[in-house]
Amino acid sequence: MSVRLSRAQRRAVELVKAGRVEWGAEDQAMARRGHCWVPVWLIDGYSAYGSEHRIYQALETRGVIRVRHDLVPCHRVPEQVKTYRSLLGPEQRRTIPAHDEPVDSGWRARVEIAIDLDEDEDDER
């Protein structure tokens, strides 16, 4: 399959091939202490800089790279009833159904190449 990649995307693919890219918690210690966090693209353990996040997201959307969520160890969490309160409104109860959750709150998933790229093509733009 021939995929046309920009120069920045080719650099990103090389980092993925080298095994230097992950998806998950940037600060694992904070995540393990229960602080809220958003998963990010990590290069050598540090968050991708600037527009690099969009480059990796575009590669994943196009199917060039794949985040291996299936390799993150998980356990089953039973159904829970949570009570929420606000300053102005009444108390609300919500039921969270049983679901799988990562064992480690500061999880990171490996990223790998999902398709076979033609190395002989040179798409200089």
Helices (H), the chain: 7-17, 28-32, 52-61
Nearest residue to 32 (alpha-carbon basis) of 119, 106, 121, 108: 106
pTM, to two decimals: 0.78
Domain membership of residue 29 (yes or no) is: yes
pLDDT over threshold 80, residue 119: no
Domain membership of residue 1 (yes or no) is: no
Residue scoring higher pLDDT (37 or 123):
37
Domain membership of residue 87 (yes or no) is: no
* pLDDT at residue 125, rounded to an integer: 46
The 10s digit of each residue's pLDDT in 66-100 is 999 999 999 999 999 999 988 888 899 999 999 99
Domain membership of residue 42 (yes or no) is: yes
Phi first, then psi: give them for residue 43, nearest 5 degrees.
Answer: -120, 120
Helix, strand or coil for residue 66? strand
Of the chain, the percentage scoring pLDDT greater than 90 comes to 74
Number of domains in the chain: 1
- Domain of 54, in residue numbers: 7-73+105-113
- In angstroms, the CA 117 to CA 125 distance is 18
Domain membership of residue 61 (yes or no) is: yes
Domain membership of residue 89 (yes or no) is: no
Mean pLDDT of all residues in 44-65: 93
pLDDT-derived band at 1, boundaries 50, 70, 90: low
Domain membership of residue 12 (yes or no) is: yes
